[in-house]
Amino acid sequence: MATDDEIVLGIDLGTTFSAMAHVNRYGKPEIITNAEGFQTTPSVVHFYDEDACIVGEEAVKMVVIDPHNVVRFIKRHMGEEDFTLDFFGRDYTPQEVSALILRKLKEDAEELLGVDVNDAVITVPAYFNSAQRGATAEAGQIAGLNVLSIINEPTAAAIAYGLDRIGGKRKLLVFDLGGGTFDVTVMEIRGTRLTTIASDGNAELGGKDWDDRLLNHVAEQFYEKFQLDPRDDAAPYQELYERCLNAKISLSSKERAVIPVNYRGQRMVVPITRTEFEELTRDLVEQCEDTANIVLEKARLRWEDLDDVLLVGGSTRMPMISNLLESLAGKPPAEGVNPDECVALGASLAGVFRHRPNHPALLAQRQQMVSRAKEVKREERKVEPAPQSAPQPAPDPNRPKAAAIGLAYGGSLVAGSGSQKPPEEPTFGLPGVTIEDATTHPLGIVVLDRNREERVVELIPQGTRVPHRYKGRFAYAYENMTAVRVEVTEGVGERRDEVTVIGKVELTGLPPRPRGTPIEVIYSYGVDQILQVRVIDVETGKEKEAQIQFQGGMTADQLSRARSHMRNMNVD
Amino acid sequence: MSGKNLELAHEFSTLVGASDLLAYLGMDHTASVDELRAKLKEKRKYMQGMQSNPKYKKQALFMIKHFSALDAVLQTPLEYIDDVRRRQESEHLPVLEMTIKGVLKGGRLTGEQAEFLRHQAGELGISEQTFQETLDRLCTEMGVAAPLPELSESEKASDHYAVLGVNNAASRDSIYDAYRTAYREAKGTPEPAAARSRMEAADQAWRVLGDPRTREAYDLARQSTAPPATQRESTPTPSGAKAPTAPPVRQRTAMPDTVPGAPRLEIFGEPVRRFGVANSPVHDEIRLRTAMPMNGFVTSTAPEWLRVEPAHLSPTTNEQTLRVTILPEFEEAEATGAIHIVTERGDRAQIVFEAKRRKIRPVTAFLAVAAILAIGLAVLLGSMNTIQGGGQPGLTIQIDPSADDVLLNSQSVGSGSVVYVANPPTGGVKLRVSQRNFRTYEQQITVPADQALEVPVMLELTEAMDFKPTAQMIQGTLDQEVVQKVMKPRSKAMDACIAIAAEPGKTMSGTVRIHIRQSGRAQGVEMEGDGINDPRVRTCLTRQAAAVYVHPLEEGDYATVRYDYQVTP
């Protein structure tokens, strides 16, 4: 059993960059720098031998030298079946490649903190489906981490952002445009409760698409001049990609940039202005805008109803994105949040809230609240000597007053609405935040309709607040059935081939009875995003219960083999 | 191997813009399975580095995801190249199938018919092997015995087994392996001329032995021509040259060689003919002479308005006349079509017909209807058994309503409502006319040697056309294209039926519904409109309707073909 102050690593496993954080014993989340001393680590792996690889900055350098042994953007393939990459005769699944990145993070954290780190909370884009979430969890397992939970990136970002703003009632839009994924989430902070109202996104849209536009633009110009396409060769392509990436970054602060191309002895310098770049990527920005509008519509909100807009992910540094949101929301996006770090910070906080209920900082906070409440009472008594006969009820420790929290949470971060003065001596603590997620994909069941054709019925719609319980009755489709099978589906669609079957529960050994015999099905979806399915035969009371967990596609056997292989792998 | 893998391989080839996987890998058919697989693996590794490259992303991801499928495909390259060939040809295959089906409708397949079909297949760019496969399949489906393919003299002459170094019991796979080895060795021959001839010999050997049907024909030809012992002796040396002295193989028909230089197929008259067409058909004829009596085929490129009869050349005479009918059925004001004549020896001729629509004055139109009316009455009454015709000798068989097949002494001479036989067998001839839904008509006729003879045939219905769909029945759908094709030639005759009751100056309109049973045959007819009360019209229409044959229904119990008529005198 983990001790209460044992570290929970919050990991933002990104498409292009990863970051990690932990909550120190005073309740303050901190980014853990990697062995190279940077806040973020590139999610790039270079395999240089059968059992050796480099992760991070060094691997990026190898991209031009050894392009066929370097993996980037593996996150885009998480949860994809049949996707393996071959290095030195061994096939690597996306889980295994991600595991190598996670292992590097874990080892760097251990080195920096000087303690063993086992438990972790890993974030995923809100729009990830269960296979992608499952694959992420599997990657953690392979890396030797005990993955306590998988949480949504916008939720994590909102925790990090909202912690010093708890108290009131605020509506928050989290716009998360990372290297390879994109999602928009509307959240509500009410007291210490953080609720996801609506979410949507695109797991195939990210900064990489902006880079590609730039790359294609440059390659086409080069081709026009020399009839040579630098994209045709791996190493020149990678070199050009790096240059385009740098040009994109500098265009965020400068008005113009130049991209030098050098391929097969031909040289060319392609100048590009920010306006040109924005023109090239206009439709991508429109795509973002559409998604944001859809989410607001789902949340039944208007732009002016939002209190804050939070930009997360490195790609939101592009002026076209912040301008877009400013023009949509009518006010500048929230400041003081580092888009690269807040997800990891939030993840570490979520780890403490969920899995370390007795973390010293939380305890300190509670204690302070109790003493604070006593103090308030005393003061009240002093001011108004017993005007009421009934004693005032003690404040609920889970729903503390705004002022109390603001004061208690490390003086410097105060943002509460209270008029109280900060206490003299510095105090440390962490208020407990309750996280209410919502389902990002509808969950359903396969049934036979009146024409005995298979149809998918949605039982838990998208955007349902979790935990959630659904109870429903179904009936025998045929006479004399002796077994019923519940097929749990995920995704939008009425036909079976439009959705994914994520699990099956079979109730067997039933007595044969006529058509229409009732069968009860209960879906319970928990905060840990695990679906519990119960199938009950109403007449006999016979029942079967099963847990549907996200499956990343690897069997237990494959996982254990992968784990032993990874253990022997040299990760630099 | 699963079809899904082949499907994926095809998809991948399309994606990368290569004709097939082998071409994508930069390999040819001489590469061994191991070489192919190694190359694919190498390619995959390369693609791994390209998967984030926007230009190659799609193919790289496809390659990574479906590597095992592509790998599996390359493990059985023979199956794969067959599949590729089939896919490349599939575009033209339906046309070939239709042609074959048309020929097989006659109930059998003669050597020259097969030759004609093979020629057509070649024109369509369909390989010998696919043609054979298709022919065999359709023959089996339609219950027709398929002849073995004909081999050319050089194909029969070589000892293909020896060229490839396999024995004559070798499996197709091992023959393919041997072919690849032989081809590769031939390629490596230092002397270019020898290399080419060896490669050609290997190719030819594979062409003959690779297809089970040609292989069977080849085996048979070898058995019949030379005893195995001598064949062994004349086995070519590994240099791959053809057998030095190939004994002549069995002659199909005794055909004297023509005088060198003399044309083997002569057509008299203009090669391009122009006609003005009003509302009535225009007739023309093509006179031709072949170097010797021989079989052949006559086809029209625009059968909807340009008809030619008979569809075969008569093998009994070397001078014959084809009757051409130009119907006013073309859509535009002008139309161009051609009649192709192909003899069994491969001689070809083409006569182009250009038809121009002529404006008709009302008087002419009336006369046209009157003419149809007269024919209709004459056919309906069918009073005369034989009509002595003047001028051109030959036999004309007028069939009401029409025939699927007309046989003279059990020799198929054509189909339709008018069958003209230019050179009929003379003397006592057995005439047999068959048509679905009608009793087969048989008659002994005497054909005079030098006079024209016209025989009207009136077929009798076997079953009453009284089927009516009930509410419980499910209506199926018909291929409208087929319906159009079937109804178009029939519409003239049906209009003529209604014209029986025509009164001058009165427009007649109404609807005829022909109910098609599941088999595709007409089994019922319902009519309403002007002139239907006339029993002659009813009988005439019923008979026309009964001759409608569409296609078996895929689903449903019945289907209905609706014919709306409007006859303006």
CB B546 within 8 A of CB B522: yes
Closest CA to B314 of B469, B466, B424, B405: B424
SS (H, E, C) A436-462: ECECCCCEEEEEECCCCCEEEEEEECC
B54-74 per-position pLDDT tens digit: 888 888 989 988 898 999 988
User: With 0-12 CB in 10 A as exposed, 13-18 as middle and 19+ as buried, what is A146?
Assistant: middle
pLDDT the model gives residue B569:
63
Strand, helix or coil for residue A185: strand
pLDDT the model gives residue B382:
36
Q: Which residues of A fall within a CB distance of 8 Å from B49?
A: 67-70, 234, 238
- Among chain A residues, the shortest Cα distance to B69 is held by A82
> Does B409 or A207 have the greater pLDDT score?
A207
Q: Do the chains contact at A229 and B65, CB–CB below 8 Å?
A: no
Q: Which residues of B fall within a CB distance of 8 Å from A220?
A: none
Residue A144 pLDDT greater than 50, yes or no = yes
B431-466 per-position pLDDT tens digit: 888 888 888 888 888 887 777 777 888 888 887 888
Helix (H) or strand (E) holding A435: strand A434-436
pLDDT the model gives residue A184:
93
* Chain A touched by B78 (CB under 8 Å): no
Task: Report the distance separating Cα B382 and Cα B239, nearest Å.
Answer: 72
Residue A134 pLDDT greater than 50, yes or no = yes
* Selection from A77-91, B154-168, B287-301 with the highest mean pLDDT: A77-91
CB B313 within 8 A of CB B296: yes
Pick from A6-15, B12-21, B322-331, B416-425: least confident: B416-425
Rounded to the nearest angstrom, the minimum Cα separation between A61 and chain B is 14
Residues in chain B, overall count: 569
Pick from A440-454, B67-81, B365-379: least confident: B365-379
Residues β-bridged to residue A522:
A471, A534
B260-277 per-position pLDDT tens digit: 444 567 777 777 777 777
Q: Do the chains contact at A82 and B44, CB–CB below 8 Å?
A: no
Q: Which amino acid is at B450?
A: D
Across residues A58-75, what is the average pLDDT?
91
pLDDT the model gives residue A560:
86
**Strand residue runs (E) in B195-345:** 265-268, 272-277, 282-290, 296-300, 306-309, 312-313, 319-326, 334-343
- Confidence tier at B227 by pLDDT (50, 70, 90): very low
Task: Report the distance separating Cα A469 and Cα A476, nearest Å.
Answer: 23
pLDDT the model gives residue A409:
37
* Chain A touched by B52 (CB under 8 Å): yes
Q: Do the chains contact at B53 and A234, CB–CB below 8 Å?
A: yes
- Among chain A residues, the shortest Cα distance to B49 is held by A68
Q: Do the chains contact at A82 and B66, CB–CB below 8 Å?
A: yes
Q: Which residues of A fall within a CB distance of 8 Å from B48?
A: 68, 85-86
Measure CB to CB from residue B45 to each of A68, A82, A219 and give the nearest one.
A68
Both ends of chain A: CA-CA distance in Å? 30
CB B437 within 8 A of CB B546: yes
Q: Which residues of B fall within a CB distance of 8 Å from A88?
A: none
pLDDT the model gives residue A42:
95
* Chain A touched by B64 (CB under 8 Å): yes
Q: Which residues of A fall below an 8 Å CB-CB distance to B?
A: 67-70, 72-73, 80, 82-86, 208, 212, 215-216, 219, 229, 231-232, 234, 237-238, 241
Complete DSSP assignment for B194-232: HHHHHHHHHHHHHHHHHSHHHHHHHHHHHHHHS-HHHHH
Angle value at C-alpha A150, between A145 and A151, nearest 5 degrees: 140
Size of interface A-B (CB pairs under 8 A): 44
Tell me yes or no: is domain B480-567 CATH 3.30.1150. yes
Q: Which residues of A fall within a CB distance of 8 Å from B65?
A: 80, 82-83
Q: How many Cβ atoms sit within 10 Å of the Cβ of residue B215?
A: 19
> Does A464 or A106 have the greater pLDDT score?
A106
Q: Which CATH number is associated with domain B153-233?
A: 1.10.287.110
Residue A381 pLDDT greater than 80, yes or no = no
> Does A207 or B183 have the greater pLDDT score?
A207
Residue in this structure with the two tokens 């403490």, named with its chain if needed: A352
* Chain A touched by B511 (CB under 8 Å): no
Pick from A457-466, B243-252, B308-317: least confident: B243-252
Q: How many Cβ atoms sit within 10 Å of the Cβ of residue B67?
A: 20
Residue in this structure with the two tokens 């009535």, named with its chain if needed: B280
Task: Report the distance separating Cα A21 and Cα A466, nearest Å.
Answer: 26
Measure CB to CB from residue A85 to each of B46, B48, B54 and give the nearest one.
B48
Closest CA to A79 of A503, A555, A552, A550: A552
- Confidence tier at A4 by pLDDT (50, 70, 90): low
Q: Encode B249-277: b = buried (16+ Cβ within 10 Å), e = exposed.
A: beeeeeeeeeeeeeeebebeeeeebeeeb
Measure CB to CB from residue B54 to each of A68, A212, A232 and give the nearest one.
A212
Same CATH topology for B265-359 and B364-458: the answer is: yes
Q: Which residues of A fall within a CB distance of 8 Å from B43?
A: none
Rounded to the nearest angstrom, the minimum Cα separation between B65 and chain A is 5
Q: Which residues of A fall within a CB distance of 8 Å from B53?
A: 231, 234, 237, 241
Q: Which residues of B fall within a CB distance of 8 Å from A70?
A: 49
Task: Report the distance separating Cα A356 and Cα A353, nearest Å.
Answer: 6
Task: Report the distance separating Cα A92 and Cα A101, nearest Å.
Answer: 13
Residue A354 pLDDT greater than 60, yes or no = yes
- Among chain B residues, the shortest Cα distance to A84 is held by B64
- Among chain B residues, the shortest Cα distance to A214 is held by B54
CB A16 within 8 A of CB A179: yes
Provide long-range contacts, Cβ within 8 A and 24+ apart, for B102-106.
B104/B138, B104/B139, B104/B142, B104/B144, B105/B142, B105/B404, B105/B405, B105/B415, B106/B405, B106/B412
Measure CB to CB from residue A86 to each of B45, B53, B54 and give the nearest one.
B45
Q: Which residues of B fall within a CB distance of 8 Å from A215?
A: 54
Q: Do the chains contact at A73 and B52, CB–CB below 8 Å?
A: yes
Report residue B229 as tokens: 């012992």
Strand, helix or coil for residue A275: helix
Q: Which amino acid is at B233?
A: E
Percentage helix, strand, coil for chain B under 3-state DSSP, each rounded to 5: 40, 25, 35
SS (H, E, C) A152-172: EHHHHHHHHHHHHHECEEEEE
* Chain A touched by B4 (CB under 8 Å): no
Q: Do the chains contact at B49 and A234, CB–CB below 8 Å?
A: yes
pLDDT the model gives residue A14:
93
Task: Report the distance separating Cα B69 and Cα B48, nearest Å.
Answer: 17
- Confidence tier at B549 by pLDDT (50, 70, 90): confident
Task: Report the distance separating Cα B308 and Cα B313, nearest Å.
Answer: 11
Measure CB to CB from residue A68 to each of B46, B54, B68 and give the nearest one.
B46
Residue A532 pLDDT greater than 60, yes or no = yes
Rounded to the nearest angstrom, the minimum Cα separation between B59 and chain A is 13
Across residues B216-223, what is the average pLDDT?
80
Q: Which residues of B fall within a CB distance of 8 Å from A207?
A: none
CB A546 within 8 A of CB A125: no
Residue A3 pLDDT greater than 90, yes or no = no
Helix (H) or strand (E) holding B15: helix B3-16
Task: Return left, alpha or beta for A301; rule: phi > 0 is left, psi -120 to 50 is alpha, else beta.
Answer: beta
Q: Encode A397-428: b = buried (16+ Cβ within 10 Å), e = exposed.
A: eeebbbbbbbbbbbeeebebeeeeeeeeeebb
Task: Report the distance separating Cα A306 and Cα A471, nearest Å.
Answer: 34
- Quick one: what percent of chain A has pLDDT higher than 90? 41
pLDDT the model gives residue B393:
65
Angle value at C-alpha A15, between A13 and A19, nearest 5 degrees: 35
Q: Do the chains contact at B52 and A208, CB–CB below 8 Å?
A: yes
Q: What is the ipTM of this complex?
A: 0.78
- Confidence tier at B475 by pLDDT (50, 70, 90): confident
Closest CA to B318 of B252, B412, B255, B273: B255
- Among chain B residues, the shortest Cα distance to A210 is held by B54
Largest CA distance in chain A: 92
pLDDT the model gives residue A94:
93
Q: Which residues of B fall within a CB distance of 8 Å from A216?
A: 54-55
Across residues A398-406, what is the average pLDDT?
39
Task: Report the distance separating Cα B529 and Cα B508, nearest Å.
Answer: 8
Q: Domains for chain A: give ranges and CATH numbers.
A: 443-541 (2.60.34.10)
Q: Do the chains contact at A72 and B52, CB–CB below 8 Å?
A: yes
CB B529 within 8 A of CB B565: yes
CB B285 within 8 A of CB B321: yes
Q: Which residues of B fall within a CB distance of 8 Å from A69?
A: 49
Q: Do the chains contact at B48 and A86, CB–CB below 8 Å?
A: yes
Residue A252 pLDDT greater than 90, yes or no = yes
Across residues B283-310, what is the average pLDDT?
80
Closest CA to B546 of B475, B467, B476, B441: B467
CB A505 within 8 A of CB A546: yes
CB A79 within 8 A of CB A88: no
Measure CB to CB from residue B55 to each of A67, A73, A231 and give the nearest one.
A231
Phi, psi of B456 (to 5 degrees): -85, 135
CATH of B364-458, one of 3.30.70, 2.30.30, 3.90.1200, 2.60.40: 2.60.40
CATH architecture type of domain B265-359: Sandwich (2.60)
Task: Report the distance separating Cα A38 and Cα A452, nearest Å.
Answer: 60
Report residue B42 as tokens: 């190498």
Strand, helix or coil for residue A85: strand
Residues in chain A, overall count: 572
CB A20 within 8 A of CB A1: no
Q: Which amino acid is at B128?
A: E
Across residues A298-326, what is the average pLDDT?
92
Domain ranges of chain B: 3-89, 93-142, 153-233, 265-359, 364-458, 480-567
A482-523 per-position pLDDT tens digit: 888 888 888 888 888 888 888 888 888 888 888 888 889 999
Q: Do the chains contact at B55 and A229, CB–CB below 8 Å?
A: yes
Which one-letter DSSP state was computed for residue A232? G
* Chain A touched by B42 (CB under 8 Å): no
Closest CA to B453 of B504, B484, B419, B487: B419
Complete DSSP assignment for B419-442: EEESSPPPEEEEEEEE-TTBPPEE
* Chain A touched by B268 (CB under 8 Å): no
